[in-house]
Structure 1
Amino acid sequence: MSSQPVQSRRIRHSLRNQICAVLISAILPYLVRLLFIDQQQQDFTGLHVTLVAAICGGLASVFSLRNLIRYPGTEAVSSILSITSLIYGAIAATFLFGRIDYVRAVLIGNYLLCVSLLFTEQVAGSARRQMRIAILEQGTARRFAASNIAWITVSDPAEPIIDVDAVTVDLRADLSDAWERRITELALVGVPVYHIKHLRESLTGMVELEHLAETSYGTLAPPYLYILCKRIIDTLIAGLILLIAFPIMIAVAVIIRMDSPGPAIFRQTRIGFRGRPFVVQKFRTMHVASSDPDSRSAAMTQTDDVRITRIGRFLRKTRIDELPQLINILRGEMSLIGPRPEAAVLSAWYEKEIPFYRYRHIVMPGVTGWAQINQGHVTNVEDVTTKLHYDFYYIRHLSPWIDMLIVLRTIMTMISGHGAK
């Protein structure tokens, strides 16, 4: 057996390449600039500050990228431009508002070179990054659909396991002494051994919560400190966006009134944090219903729903219809990111049909969320169960990194229109 896991060697090799790319992209524009300045008269302070900022920005991009790509469905290649642009934009804003002397041409050259080299490294290494996972088919451990995975089935404890990234097995199964010794040997030589349920979770982005004790915090409540910080950030961002977008919202409201009869704002009772009902606000995208708006059928939006107005289709595709929910955020009823709040009538139905459904209310509902970007809009019980598994994954992995990933993918969703109905 290989004495060192293949995946750990690949990770270290990739990290070395990325750090080299960062250093090259920072130093090369710096050296080129040195060739074209007056060595006697030039003040080097701004140039040196730019070099330090370039190195820090590149390393921050690598660190952020490596934290984001550990979540399922994240393509590192497509994330490079977004992450790097966000970080270098923050650096440029710091220089601008802090009135710090820097060399603009060097920073721009560093940014362009950093994106190019990180992109090249990622594309060049993608061919060698397919994971090889040995699966010990004991208990409930069976293969499942997952992209970029080569499964190696092992049915005998004496069977050789060569050059694998990891081993997975049902650790809750009644394993024989031979299997337990073999699994221990694999762990001792550095091969990661995963419980099949945890591996499925990390590769699919869903948590099938069978017992409330399976939450990962040692308590049923997510970390309070991050929840508090998230609330402060939500308020600041929502207030800023509302100020900037207010003229647009007025124009949208006028267009909606001209397009079809009825109010510009749609209001609906939904279930929020800790199971409390609240009234969500959105731009109206449907014709005013003649039936009871609180009925189950009226609360469901179907694919190509005939009730959607002409302007409503555009508002839904671009997510502009969600802008009034900024008011819900300022009221403390919603967050920018979290499980989407369901209509009260649907929530009551789902609670009767789906175990643990109410647990999704342990965090603040959001304008966008993990289930939203992975699955889109759903209504039937089967799809809602899958959506719930995405919500549980988000609650278990609640962190700044998954929130940043959701923001980036929501922007892509707004551009593509995926998931809109």
Structure 2
Amino acid sequence: MLHNPLPANRTQRSLFTRIRFAAAGALILVPLVPLGLRFSLLQVGVNEPSTYASLIANAVAVILAVWMRISLQPYPGTRAGAVLLPAITFAHLSVLIVMLMARLPYDRVAMVTGYVVHLVWAYGLYITVQRRLRQRIAVVPIGQFGMLREIRSVDWYEMRGPDMDEAAGCDAIVADFAADLPDEWEAFLADAAIEGRVVFQVKQLSESLTGRVDVEHLSENSFGSLVPMRIYTHIKSIGDWLFAVAMLPVVAPLMLVVALLIRLDSKGPVLFLQQRVGRGGKPITVYKFRTMQWQGEKAESTVEAAMTLQDDPRITRIGKWLRTSRIDELPQIINILIGQMSWIGPRPEAALLSNVYVEIPFYRYRFVVKPGISGWAQVNQGHVAGRDQTIEKLQFDFFYIKYFSPWLDVLIVFKTIRTMLNGFGAR
């Protein structure tokens, strides 16, 4: 049985918990607070074109951030607070770049202040009100709904009958539309949708909350939905290459320093070259900084050697830091420049391991997109070893392929930055 709390016990939601309130407050505070501070503290007039341009720019950034927040929040395992920094930062940065490219006048103080005010307002609301709330979702107890038992981030209310009043205390309703629902339940769901209630399908809701696609329950229809957008695939490839070219002068000095540290730390080559599997199942040579003791030709000659264990004794002193910070992946900018990899995508699997895991159902389908330096599985699961963890990683990879979009890539970028800072999942 699912957890079955009475709807009357539901935490009452107020105006302060709604995204419309947050957006309205930001639209007032973000443009006007910098204006007021400029006038009151700096005693500077507000008649300059740059001041008005910055006021409008901050307002546009708020609208863009709200749009991004709505677009990002359905993705997984994503708490509301997890999308605030990516959405707000990306919005303000995008507006600033447009102003720079268009040579529009702007006030630096007003732009920076607007960004800070936006962050303070959004996180202030989240910390004081929104983060204390848990979603409560009514479950139609017919069909395949047992998977919801494993998701602890939501309070589930198992309905006793198709009564609209019974679901009144819940944020949404979830049902298995693939099940043979009785007429009264179908009428109930139709009426709920007509009234504007949020109605989810069990499978899609489970994917959204866990960030994984269950490979053991893929049907023909769901398998077809995993085809990524071709237009975005091409746009992303161009963007990957352009960003790699722009980053090369920045990362090259860092790579030289790392190369010197590796040479001083242990014997062997600076770079580690490994045969992995790329898009379409084609073999590629992936470049990494060497993080283990050099073993010559014996290196990674067996499946066991290709796996990195927890506290692996082969890892060097500098190698441990490189792995934790993910700096060991930097040489893969070469793979991006020659079109073999992307910044974001499923991690390319070692050829030896791929030959072992290919027996996992649908495993080869992860090769439908370019592999990446960072990916959805890496920021949610970390390093894996063994069949069970690989199956879980495949579920994360399928989620990425199914919801392949710029919004998900933006979210992964910010999660990657956090991962680099806290060392999550490194071995």
Partners of 1:57 and 1:91 within 8 A in 2: yes
Please name the residue that 1:135 is paired with.
Answer: 139
Q: 2:28 aligns with which of 8, 23, 26?
A: 23
Please name the residue that 1:371 is paired with.
Answer: 377
How far the C-alpha of 1:236 sits from its partner, in A, is 1.1
Please name the residue that 1:241 is paired with.
Answer: 247
How far the C-alpha of 1:357 sits from its partner, in A, is 0.3
How far apart, CA to CA, are the structure 2 residues paired with 1:169 and 1:38? 59
How far apart, CA to CA, are the structure 2 residues paired with 1:211 and 1:8? 37
1:14 aligns with 2:19: yes
Partners of 1:14 and 1:125 within 8 A in 2: no
**Structure 1 ranges of 4+ moved more than 6 A:** 6-12
For the aligned residues, what is the CA RMSD?
A: 2.7
Amino acid at match of 2:158: T
Q: Which stretch has the larger CA shift, 173-182 or 269-278?
A: 173-182
1:51 aligns with 2:31: no
1:252 aligns with 2:258: yes
Please name the residue that 1:168 is paired with.
Answer: 174
How far apart, CA to CA, are the structure 1 residues paired with 2:137 and 2:179? 19
TM-score by length of 1: 0.90
Secondary structure at the residue paired with 2:106? coil
Partners of 1:226 and 1:399 within 8 A in 2: yes
Amino acid at match of 1:367: I
How far the C-alpha of 1:145 sits from its partner, in A, is 2.9
How far the C-alpha of 1:75 sits from its partner, in A, is 3.4
Please name the residue that 1:414 is paired with.
Answer: 420
Aligned residues: 413
1:302 aligns with 2:329: no
> What is the correspondence of 1:115-194 to structure 2 with a 5 Å cutoff?
115-126=119-130, 129-142=133-146, 143-157=148-162, 160-194=166-200
Partners of 1:207 and 1:390 within 8 A in 2: yes
How far the C-alpha of 1:95 sits from its partner, in A, is 4.6
Cα 1:247–1:31 change in 2 (3 A) is closer
Please name the residue that 1:201 is paired with.
Answer: 207
Deviations 1:219-247 (A, max 9, x none): x6311110011001100111222221112
Partners of 2:227 and 2:402 within 8 A in 1: no
Deviations 1:310-367 (A, max 9, x none): 1100000111100110000111110000000101111111112x10000000000000
Q: 1:338 aligns with which of 319, 332, 345?
A: 345
Amino acid at match of 2:276: R
Secondary structure at the residue paired with 1:279? strand
How far apart, CA to CA, are the structure 1 residues paired with 2:135 and 2:328? 41
Cα 1:221–1:197 change in 2 (3 A) is closer
> What is the correspondence of 1:244-283 to structure 2 with a 5 Å cutoff?
244-283=250-289
How far apart, CA to CA, are the structure 2 residues paired with 1:325 and 1:403? 18
Please name the residue that 2:3 is paired with.
Answer: none
Partners of 2:346 and 2:370 within 8 A in 1: yes
Cα 1:95–1:189 change in 2 (3 A) is closer
How far the C-alpha of 1:12 sits from its partner, in A, is 8.9
Deviations 1:125-171 (A, max 9, x none): 31564211111222221232334411111243459332222222222
Secondary structure at the residue paired with 1:287? coil
Secondary structure at the residue paired with 1:65? helix
Cα 1:94–1:195 change in 2 (3 A) is closer
Q: 1:67 aligns with which of 66, 71, 84?
A: 71
Deviations 1:185-210 (A, max 9, x none): 33333323322111111110111133
Deviations 1:364-386 (A, max 9, x none): 00000001100001121111111
User: What is the aligned-residue identity percentage?
Assistant: 38
